[in-house]
Amino acid sequence: MGKKIGKQTVCLSKGVPILSTASTVGPKEAEGPLGAYFDKKVEDALFGQETWEQAESFFVQENMALAVEKAGLKMKDMDYILCGDLLNQCTGSCFGIKNFDIPYFGLFGACSTMGEAMSLGAMLIDGGFAGHVLTGASSHFCAAEKQFRFPLPLGTQRPPTSTWTVTGDGAAVLAGKGEGPKIVEITTGKIVDMGVTDANNMGAAMAPAAAALLLAHFEDTGRMPQDYDVIATGDLGTIGRELVVELLSKEGYEMDSRFTDCGIEIFDAEKQDTHAGGSGCACSAVTFCGYFYPKLKAGEIGRMLFIPTGALMSPTSSQQGQPIPGIAHGLVIEGCGKGAAR
Amino acid sequence: MGKKIGKQTVCLSKGVPILSTASTVGPKEAEGPLGAYFDKKVEDALFGQETWEQAESFFVQENMALAVEKAGLKMKDMDYILCGDLLNQCTGSCFGIKNFDIPYFGLFGACSTMGEAMSLGAMLIDGGFAGHVLTGASSHFCAAEKQFRFPLPLGTQRPPTSTWTVTGDGAAVLAGKGEGPKIVEITTGKIVDMGVTDANNMGAAMAPAAAALLLAHFEDTGRMPQDYDVIATGDLGTIGRELVVELLSKEGYEMDSRFTDCGIEIFDAEKQDTHAGGSGCACSAVTFCGYFYPKLKAGEIGRMLFIPTGALMSPTSSQQGQPIPGIAHGLVIEGCGKGAAR
């Protein structure tokens, strides 16, 4: 049985091990600073499909199967799949997993979806409802630009505050038993709306939600930022990270270099012309699965606070003048070996 | 701790009571056969808002607050909100609940979302992660037509197989203790894709998923259709229901008049010109919350199998020639009083 601690946090009765992860990315991500860490790099972002949307589904299909394979399991061993994406009606996920023949809970947390999937998946396992849960999240630059902003052939100029949607899929297999870094606590985010309306400045839109999540987590657990080896938000980019540092400082929490953002890690903003950083559901998903997970497994990271962040808007809500509410979901993950002893 | 029985079903350690429900609907639903059962009937589907999308969010906001009030609780007593809708990027839900200040898991199961929300909510409670979970689902005819089919002012003719998206929101408060009809078992659906591509025949697209869910449920539990006082699918309409009866009959299960569909119940198809019936996330949500829940509470229904159904497509996937995969989520709910003794 889980236990609620504080207002927004639950403590799992025993840590839920992440047996394996898999990350599959497009060419731009492969050329970035984390390129060497990803399992599979696809040379053509169309991935042999006819449309960008079908390509995204193919990323989902291939990568989720890879995560299961890496855990030494078969797809039929999975009790549930929990995943989601940014495409209209989450078709990236639905069409990606439709042939897996596994009970499916579709999620929408915008770019925070990987956090939502891992949170719910860990609770289903800890509550005794599942032995294995396959979690994941995906996004695709070309499909996202077309849907949320402008068709790519227009060659629209991008403002400096904009971020670059990551093409790829990240997936993780959670289990009731076995070896691996363990999810031990979950802090679930509330929607935070500070009235930001600029769809080209997602970092600013999501920063208040990330800051609120961090504050709630520190209050619920009694910990300080320095109690974590790594704190990684999802896709705030440079502008959003700076805002979080400022907001937390006002509340008496000094965030240092151990606080990073997956959107800052995944691209070399200057060389790759990605402006404020990476974004999209896949940003935190592939960065966690490809880059942080092996470090947790090797004991190089003892305790990590992983906080995928999301902007809960649609082109329609923006066109109707609505603000961009943000959300963030936090998970405490403990590394293997002596790192976990702290 | 929950327990898995069979392949797709879990049994909750103790039944999770539904403390209260609320249903708010538009004018067409109010004029239908179930009109008298709904808590709140809105005369103008715009509900005092400027756009159909904002109206849907207002249905969510007002109705979810009403469900909490009917349970004799305050919004701050809720540990989580789980809800979703059909609008792009689930903005119906996000904008509806954004001021509630409660941890939020956004869901997308198309029109099966109420089943998904109640399933996950019940497991979170049974697993010890929450004392109260607010669940819900919404849809709006005008917003859905505009997004999925044609703008209303075009006056496009509707084929006989089409269904009518229900305008409204259904919400239910689940709890760790208290009185009310109890969720006792959950059968979670897999995606079923039989290659149906006609976006004007959702009943046919979803029927195979509903039939597969029923089969899995009967196999997992060893029960027969006659072991339920009511079996109600979400929004198959007359065509989809007929197909399910046929598919189940081939497998040796004879479905009788105890098997109904929320989309058949909610409208008088002939008088209201709704063709094959009602549909949309709100169809099963308001029909359960407004019509079936009081019967469960009064002990008039002893055991019900509630199966919200969903079609996992988007206009983009349809335009690209993709099929319409279906999904269905089943919950066994036991009524109060002597009805529950069976």
Interface test with A, best of B51, B105, B120 (most A CBs within 10 A): B105
User: Under an 8 A CB cutoff, do A128 and B87 touch?
Assistant: no
- Residues in chain B with CB shorter than 8 Å from the CB of A102 are 190
Cα A182 to chain centroid distance, Å, stands at 17
Q: ipTM of the predicted structure?
A: 0.98
Nearest to A188 among B80, B88, B320 (CB): B80
pLDDT band at A338 (very low <50, low <70, confident <90, very high): low
**Whole-number Å distance between alpha carbons of A171 and A174:** 10
Using DSSP's 3-state secondary structure scheme, residue B155 falls into coil
**Whole-number Å distance between alpha carbons of A125 and A176:** 6
Q: Is the pLDDT of residue A119 over 70?
A: yes
What mean pLDDT is predicted for residues A47-61?
98
What pLDDT shows up at residue B341?
A: 42
User: Under an 8 A CB cutoff, do B94 and A325 touch?
Assistant: yes
pLDDT band at A1 (very low <50, low <70, confident <90, very high): confident
What pLDDT shows up at residue A341?
A: 42
Comparing alpha-carbon positions, the chain A residue that sits nearest to B5 is A129
What pLDDT shows up at residue B338?
A: 61
Q: Is the pLDDT of residue B303 over 60?
A: yes
User: Residue length, chain B?
Assistant: 342
User: Under an 8 A CB cutoff, do B106 and A101 touch?
Assistant: no
What pLDDT shows up at residue B336?
A: 97
User: Under an 8 A CB cutoff, do B313 and A91 touch?
Assistant: yes
Q: What does the mean pLDDT of chain B come to?
A: 96
What mean pLDDT is predicted for residues A196-203?
93
What residues form DSSP beta bridges with B176?
none
Q: Is the pLDDT of residue B340 over 90?
A: no
Q: How many CB atoms lie within 10 A of CB B336?
A: 18
Question: Which of these, B40, B342, B315, B4, lies nearest to B167 by C-alpha position?
Answer: B40
What pLDDT shows up at residue A337?
A: 85
What mean pLDDT is predicted for residues B196-218?
96
Q: Is the pLDDT of residue A311 over 50?
A: yes
Whether the Cβ atoms of residue B171 and residue B245 lie closer than 8 Å to each other: no
Nearest to A94 among B97, B131, B191 (CB): B191
**Whole-number Å distance between alpha carbons of B19 and A89:** 31
Whether the Cβ atoms of residue B311 and residue B205 lie closer than 8 Å to each other: yes
Burial class (CB in 10 A: 0-12, 13-18, 19+), B161: middle
What mean pLDDT is predicted for residues A273-288?
97
Q: How far is residue B86 from each of residues A28, A58, A111, B68, measured CA to CA in Å?
A: 32, 23, 18, 23
Would you state the structure tokens that stand for residue A296, as one six-digit string? 């947790």
| Nearest-5° Cα angle at B183, B181 to B189 | 140
What pLDDT shows up at residue B342?
A: 44
Shortest distance, CA B288 to any CA of chain A (angstroms): 20
What mean pLDDT is predicted for residues A122-137?
98
- Residues in chain B with CB shorter than 8 Å from the CB of A53 are 316-317, 320
Q: Is the pLDDT of residue A323 over 50?
A: yes
User: Under an 8 A CB cutoff, do A312 and B89 touch?
Assistant: yes
- Residues in chain B with CB shorter than 8 Å from the CB of A120 are 105, 120
A195: left (phi over 0), alpha (psi -120 to 50) or beta: left
User: Under an 8 A CB cutoff, do B90 and A2 touch?
Assistant: no
Interface test with B, best of A77, A138, A191 (most B CBs within 10 A): A191
Q: Is the pLDDT of residue B19 over 50?
A: yes
User: Under an 8 A CB cutoff, do A4 and B130 touch?
Assistant: yes
Whether the Cβ atoms of residue B312 and residue A91 lie closer than 8 Å to each other: yes
**Beta-strand relationship, A303-307 and A230-233:** parallel
Shortest distance, CA A36 to any CA of chain B (angstroms): 33
pTM, full prediction: 0.98
What pLDDT shows up at residue A342?
A: 44
Q: Is the pLDDT of residue B292 over 70?
A: yes
Question: Which of these, B54, B81, B53, lies nearest to B65 by C-alpha position?
Answer: B81
Contacts of A230 (CB under 8 A, 6+ apart): A258, A260, A292, A301, A304, A305
**Beta-strand relationship, A104-106 and A80-85:** parallel
What mean pLDDT is predicted for residues A107-130?
98
What pLDDT shows up at residue B337?
A: 85
User: Under an 8 A CB cutoff, do B312 and A54 touch?
Assistant: no
What mean pLDDT is predicted for residues A314-332?
97
- Residues in chain B with CB shorter than 8 Å from the CB of A79 are 4
| Secondary-structure breakdown of chain A: helix, strand, coil percentages, each rounded to the nearest 5 | 40, 25, 35
User: Which domains, from first to last, does chain B contain?
Assistant: 16-175 (3.40.47.40), 182-341 (3.40.47.40)
Nearest to A91 among B91, B130, B316 (CB): B316
- Residues in chain A with CB shorter than 8 Å from the CB of B115 are none
**Beta-strand relationship, A80-85 and A230-233:** unpaired
pLDDT in tens, B245-288: 999 999 999 999 999 999 999 999 999 999 999 999 999 999 99
Comparing alpha-carbon positions, the chain B residue that sits nearest to A144 is B89
Give the DSSP letter string of A38-73. -SEE-SSTTTT-SSHHHHHHHHHHHHHHHHHHHTT-
